[in-house]
Structures are given as structure tokens and as C-alpha cells.
Amino acid sequence: MADTPLPDDLLALLREVDTPTVCNAIEVAQGKRGFNRFTRGTMQHSRPGDPAIVGFARTARISGLAPPTEPPEVIRARRMDYFRSMAGGQGPTAAVVEDVDYPNCIAGWWGEVHVAVHKGLGLAGAVTNGVLRDLDVIDEGFPVLAGSIGPSHGYVHVVEIGTEVSVMGIKVQQGELIHADRHGALVIPAEVIPDLKRAIETVIASEAIVLGPAREPGFDIDRLEEVWAEFEAART
């Protein structure tokens, strides 16, 4: 899909809510259970608790387990093409980078230098199945959700730019809208975007049916039975 501008109110809301809420809201917008375009497994977050990563994907594939076989000038030129691609697209944008060596990744592409560069180019954050490093010195304001944490950069080099990538169980095409936080990442289907704000508000309101009473003094099983019936009627 081609990236298209998000309404300001939807973008602000997406940055405020967590990824599980968006996952539930997509099902509300679709009117059914079964949405499955989300990551699998436990991932590592550069700063848990940071606002969610929301952006149209700028994709690439990297490798670092073995030296590249192409000439050095080709590798250098492709890296600069990678940066040009990352700087493109309508905002907000986010990097989604597949390490093709997974699950044996060693290359810390996401460290102090690349976080600063990608943040400077205007991206909102990064999602990868690869390695994150330099945790104590990377810039604030650029969340990274990674497959692992490690010390090395290996023989890291870019192998593809702008193609479909596979990261922890989801396939992402350039230009698709992603949402990610410490829980994982997901792709927001283009067709639900017009209804997504309403769907998020519906999820929050339906959960409040139980959460409010459950946090009040005197909550008991009788009160639970009462509010749970109302909750079941309101949820997808």
C-alpha cells in the first residue's frame, strides 16, 4: 500500500495507546476476531514505557553473520541508497528492518550511530528481528523494538531496500502502517484506518465497564457477574 497521511486526531491517539489496545481495536473495526498480523515471541525494547512507534514502514534487509561477497564499493553505495530510502515517504515513518541471519543474528545495526542518524532523518522508531546495542547511550525519543540485544556489529551490510520483510512472524511491505511498543508490533490494515479512532474509543469504553467497578471498594463476585454481562455484550 502507498503511505497516506493520517488524520491528526488518529495519529495522536495511536501514540497514546498501547499495541494490545490497537490489536483489539482492529478486530472491533473488522467486526470479528482473528486478526493475526502481529509479531510472535518476546522482543527487546530500548526503553520500555516510551510512547508507541507509529509510522508507515520504510523497509530493508540486512546481514552481518558473514562478510559480504559483493565489491566494497557496491556495499557502500547500497548503504547510502538505504539512508535515502529511509529518509523518503510521507510522515510519520518508521524503519522495519529484517536481519536475514535470524535466529542467529549478531549484527547490532541499531546502536548509538544508527539511532541518531535515523532519528535525525525524521523516522519515529524502528522494528527489527535483529540486534540492538548501546542501550546506555542511544538517543532518547527513538524507540527500537528488536529481536535481541548484543555487543557486536559483525559484518553488517544492507542486502535489500524497500522490499517486503519478515520480522518475528509478520510480513511488512513498504508503506504499510505499523504500531509497536514493548508488547510487540503489528500492521494496521489500510481498510480499518477510517474506523480506527472510533474502534479504539470503543475498546477503552468497553474495558472501563469492568475496570471501574473492579477497582472500587467492595467489589465482589456478585458485582462481577453484573458488570461482566454488560462487558460481554459490548466487546467484539
Name the domain count of the chain. 2
Would 30 be classed as within a structural domain? Answer: no
Question: What does the pLDDT read at residue 43?
Answer: 98
Cα dihedral across residues 107, 113, 117, 120: positive or negative: positive
Question: What does the pLDDT read at residue 5?
Answer: 73
Computed over every residue of the chain, the mean pLDDT equals 96
Q: Are residues 207 and 180 in the same domain?
A: no
Q: Are residues 73 and 152 in the same domain?
A: yes
Q: Are residues 178 and 222 in the same domain?
A: no
For residue 211, pLDDT beyond 60: yes
Would 5 be classed as within a structural domain? Answer: no
Q: Are residues 132 and 207 in the same domain?
A: no
pTM as predicted: 0.94
Q: Are residues 208 and 150 in the same domain?
A: no
Would 31 be classed as within a structural domain? Answer: no
Q: Are residues 118 and 203 in the same domain?
A: no
Q: Are residues 113 and 206 in the same domain?
A: no
In which region does residue 49 sit, left (phi positive, over 0), alpha (psi from -120 to 50) or beta (all else)?
A: left
* Domain's final residue, options 165, 188, 211: 188
What tens digit of pLDDT does each residue of 214-227 get?
999 999 999 999 99
Q: Which residues pair with 109 in a beta bridge?
A: none
What tens digit of pLDDT does each residue of 125-142 get?
999 999 999 999 999 999
Q: Are residues 85 and 179 in the same domain?
A: yes
State mean pLDDT over 80-97.
96
Q: Are residues 135 and 44 in the same domain?
A: yes
133 is in an annotated binding site: yes
Question: What does the pLDDT read at residue 234?
Answer: 83
Q: Which residues constitute the domain of residue 199?
A: 195-234
What tens digit of pLDDT does each residue of 138-181 get?
999 999 999 999 999 999 999 999 999 999 999 999 999 999 99
